[in-house]
Structure 1
Amino acid sequence: MTSGTADLREALPADGRREAPDYPIDGAAPQIAQQPRTREELAGLLASATEAGLAVVPQGSRSALDLGRPIDRYDVALDMRGLDGIVDYEPADMTVQVGAGMTLRALRAHLAEHGQYLPADPPPGDDVTIGGLLATARPGAWRGHMPAARDLVIGMEVALPDGSLVRSGGRVVKNVSGYDLHRLHTGALGTLGVIVEASFKLVPLPPATRSFAVRRPSVRDAARLAIELRDAALPGRALSVLAPEAAVRLGLPDDAHVLLELAGYESALDAATTRIRDVTERSGGGLGDAPSGAWDALRALTGATDGVVLRLGVPATRIAATIEAARGLRGTAWGHVAAGSVVIHAPAIDVTSVRVLRRNVEAEGGFLVVESGPPALRAVVDPLGASTRDLVGALKRQFDPTGTLSPGRWEVGL
């Protein structure tokens, strides 16, 4: 332990100390680990670390630490789970203010008592923290059907590397630099500042949900049916195309499938079910109930940390071809029609294959993100794409010029 980290450790509250070996990232452990209990303690830690030239990596449920490049330095693990309470909740106004360390599962349980929820389904599941949900901005099957979490944020408090606490409130409040604060930090992986609290606009909890699976002879047939269902104006919350390998992982037969979730009032779901049955019967498919837990299993697959997980943005009309290409990589894949995305999970994918996939999707205006993979792959293949890297890189130089927060996550030195 260096003198700088030793001094910082002694200056921090003893009851917030954690065992550093419990916080490895890419095989490396920090010198110290700390779990602040107050915003002031968090701000002080950042200010002291910046002054001492130490690298701090914020983390919550630790479910997305493969997102981005391998970090260059790792001195301090900042465990945000100590800031985990509901700060303010007004059911009548349908707004909630919550600490960044609270899990989505705990928040859901509290809001459900009042018939409300935050419509977010990030991978790998509801045990993600609210801060992690925003910092990673990882989409799930609901994307395209429901607002993105960042679009529901109406306020945010962020701790900057110099120890400043910056707060926004309301839909259009901006910080002193002229940026929309919550959009600035959503998806930045905690590299510009550390989200302390967030306020959300909520939506009513659907009175009922139904999930269906439709078996199809090929991925292309499944994709055609899914697009037809998308255009049928259904009260859908998720609509996905599964390769046979993905279907098996969800407890379905070894064939391509369409997986569909409806949400709303029972009367609306009854009418929608009739329309879905008509469409599927015309196409030669049979409508059946999806296995219990199918959507949770799909979220877990999306957030898997074994092997390689890629997320590709493609037009809905290219979902089938992209899934078929993934099967050639000895992996499995599934696509979300409303969002125009395909997720690929494979035991291993070589650098050349990733670059070819990226070149092909970018030629059609799409993108490729390496959601998870070994450090050797993430070090040589830009995991997040050049356009995003360049944008965040410019902001990183302004907000964190000393490279305190997760240095190297976007590129070497950033």
Structure 2
Amino acid sequence: MSKSDLTKTDISRLIEQLGTDKVKIFPGKGSEYGSASDWVVFAESEQEAVKVIRWAGESQVSILPEGQGALAGYGNPVCKEAVTLSLAKLNQVTEHSVGDLTVTVQAGTLLSHLQAVLKEKGQMLPLDPGWPEIRTAGGIVAAALTGPKRLKYGTPRDWVIGLRVILADGQVIRTGGKVVKNVAGYDMNKLFVGSFGTLGVITECTFKLRPLPPEETVIILEHSDVNALLRLSRRILDSSLEPSAIEIVNSSVLSTLLPGDHATFGLMIGFEDETKAVDKEQDQVVKWAKEEGIRVRETLRNDWAAALWQFFGELMPHAKGSESSAAKIAVKISTLPDQAAAAVQMIHYLAEELGIDAMIHGGTGTGITLAVLQPKQDQWAIAKELIQKVRQRIEEQLGYVVILHAPSFFKELIPVWGKTPAGLFLMRKIKAQLDPEGRFNPGRWVGGI
């Protein structure tokens, strides 16, 4: 079906059902990141979202689920004609059980709004992807987004206890429940967390919560030898200390976060706990750093520490960012935790050799390394070469290199997802069972799912 056919025939039926104020066209909306959709449908209820999905089935049109659109640069370009189904107006906190430490929110609820509501009761959702003011609950779950505090708190899979999901035939299902203890059996939540909107449209999320920690600190250390920082990191991880985050960073990250000259590499260590515990942990890290000959550049507490982590999260580009954000490439490298420091070092020196600006950081306790490349107009081929070299070395070590964010023309130069995961055949079977016609986000996910 061509875009003009869609415009002239089926869209009019959808407008009759929902009204002109909820069905809008934005010419060229998705071209920058490879979306096939200029049409956006703004559902204001789950029932309206069901109508859109049933209409899509009747009209043989694909659906691109979306919250605020920050993830438009993720994944492969969509391979079929589609409409964007925006859940941005489903943005209410519907139930907060303070005593049970659970909360239920609509999928379009912003993380920043949710955290503000929870803070009033001394609670938090312990997930920290960057840009909370444009991250929605549904988007965080669908893309399994995390931040540096993944080390202490884990991933969305660890905090989701229930979902409401619309399947391709318009059926609404509930997975899990609204209490922490549910009936034993297969955890259907895990099927949809990280499925990238390819199996169904999430309309509601129920999360477990934690009390807000009374004290927070972040310690920033520097050294020209990444191995010295790695030794300190291992010492902390092997001890009784409980860091919330440990990130090896390169000098570009340090220069962005703090003014002045910096060593080639740095280590950012966070703690969150009771005041006495945080004081003890900070003092111990400073002592060990001095023993290793590592410079303590800065220690920040509470609001200052939180502000630094927020700024740190904003290093990642997104699809709603400025023109400079659109020209960036974000790469995620997954390795064994002990290999993260080597990955940061490798990418730093490769980028330096090739003359490309790169901000790189890696979790020494998680094995997740992120690199943000900002090639100049004549450096896209060089950026491709850099990623290919990194991918070859990482995949030799059985790791993965995925392009999280890039303009659509760059995705035509190099595969987004890298090597095929071992479980792809099983993913295809699940996709065929839940979305047999490939209605949701066609071709966008790994293996063209």
- For the criterion TM > 0.5, the same-fold answer is yes
Aligned counterpart, 1:408? 443
Corresponding position of 2:246: 239
Kept after mapping to 2: 8 A contact 1:246/1:333:
yes
Aligned to 1:148: 155
Letter paired with 1:6 = S
Check whether the contact 1:312–1:343 (CA below 8 A) recurs between aligned residues. Answer: yes
Q: 1:313 aligns with which of 324, 330, 334?
A: 334
Q: Deviations over 1:49-89 (max 9, x none)?
A: 11101111111121122221111124311111111111211
Aligned equivalents of 2:35 and 2:415: distance in 1?
20
- In structure 2, the partner of 1:254 is 262
- How far apart are the structure 2 equivalents of 1:64 and 1:391? 25
Match of 1:20 in 2: 26
Any conservation in 2 of the 1:46–1:162 contact (CA below 8 Å)? yes
- With over 3 angstroms needed to count, the CA separation of the structure-2 counterparts of 1:352 and 1:167, relative to structure 1, is same
Contact 1:59 1:78 in 2 (8 A): yes
Does structure 1 retain, via aligned residues, the 8 Å contact 2:34–2:408?
no
- Given that 1:5 and 1:54 are in contact with CA atoms closer than 8 Å, whether structure 2 keeps it comes out as no
Structure 1 runs of 4+ aligned residues shifted over 4 Å read 171-174, 388-391
**Residue type of the alignment partner of 2:444:** R
Shift of 1:389: 4.9
1:294-333 alignment runs, 5 A limit: 294-304=308-318, 305=325, 306-327=327-348, 328-329=350-351, 330=356, 331-333=358-360
Tell me the equivalent position of 1:278.
287
Structure 1's 125 and 326: CA in aligned 2 closer, same or farther, altered over 3 A?
A: farther
Q: Is the 8 A contact 2:123 2:211 kept in 1?
A: yes
Q: What is the alpha-carbon distance in structure 2 between the residues aligned to residue 16 and residue 295 of structure 1? A: 37
The Cα offsets for residues 315-366 of structure 1, whole Å up to 9 and x where unpaired, read as 2332232112212123231111111121111124544443332232233232
- Deviation at residue 29 of structure 1 after TM alignment: 6.3
Tell me how far 1:92 sits from its aligned partner.
0.5
Alignment of 1:9-408 (within 5 A): 9-21=15-27, 23-25=29-31, 26=33, 30-170=37-177, 180-252=187-259, 253-255=261-263, 256-287=265-296, 288-290=298-300, 293-304=307-318, 305=325, 306-327=327-348, 328-329=350-351, 330=356, 331-348=358-375, 350-379=383-412, 380-383=414-417, 385-387=419-421, 389-408=424-443
| DSSP 3-state at the match of 1:68 | coil
Q: 1:230 to 1:282 in 2, by over 3 A?
A: same
Distance 1:186-1:303 versus aligned 2 partners, 3 A rule: farther
Output the aligned Cα RMSD: 2.3
**2:88 counterpart SS class:** helix
1:28 deviates by: 5.2
**Which shows bigger deviation, 371-380 or 402-411?**
371-380
Contact 2:91 2:105 in 1 (8 A): yes
Give the structure 1 partner of residue 378 of structure 2: none
Mapped to 2, the partners of 1:3 and 1:122 lie a distance apart of: 40
* Cα contact 2:145–2:156 (8 A) shared by 1: no
Cα 1:197–1:395 shift into 2, 3 Å? same
Q: 1:336 to 1:411 in 2, by over 3 A?
A: closer
SS in 2 for 1:73: coil
Higher alpha-carbon deviation: 323-332 or 290-299? 290-299
Query: What's the secondary structure of 1:301's corresponding residue?
Result: coil
Q: What is the SS of the residue equivalent to 2:244?
A: strand
Structure 1: runs of 5+ lacking an equivalent: none
Q: 1:283 to 1:358 in 2, by over 3 A?
A: same
1:227 Cα deviation after fit? 2.2
Partner Cα distance (1:308, 1:31) in 2: 23
SS in 2 for 1:145: helix
Following superposition, the deviation at residue 392 of structure 1 comes to 3.1
Q: Give identity over the alignment, percent.
A: 26
Provide the TM-score with structure 2 as the length reference: 0.85
Q: Give the equivalent residue in structure 1 for 2:13.
A: 7
Task: Specify every segment of 5 or more residues in structure 2 that has no aligned partner in the other structure, as ranges.
Answer: 1-6, 319-324, 376-381
Contact 1:389 1:410 in 2 (8 A): no
Alignment partners' CA distance in 1, 2:361 and 2:192: 29
Amino acid at match of 1:193: G
Structure 1 CA distance, aligned partners of 2:419 and 2:131?
Answer: 22
Q: Contact 2:35–2:72 (CA<8 Å) still a contact in 1?
A: no
The question of whether the paired residues in 1 share the 8 Å contact of 2:162 and 2:174 is answered with yes
* 1: CA distance, partners of 2:442 / 2:394: 29
Deviation at 1:35, TM superposition (A): 1.2
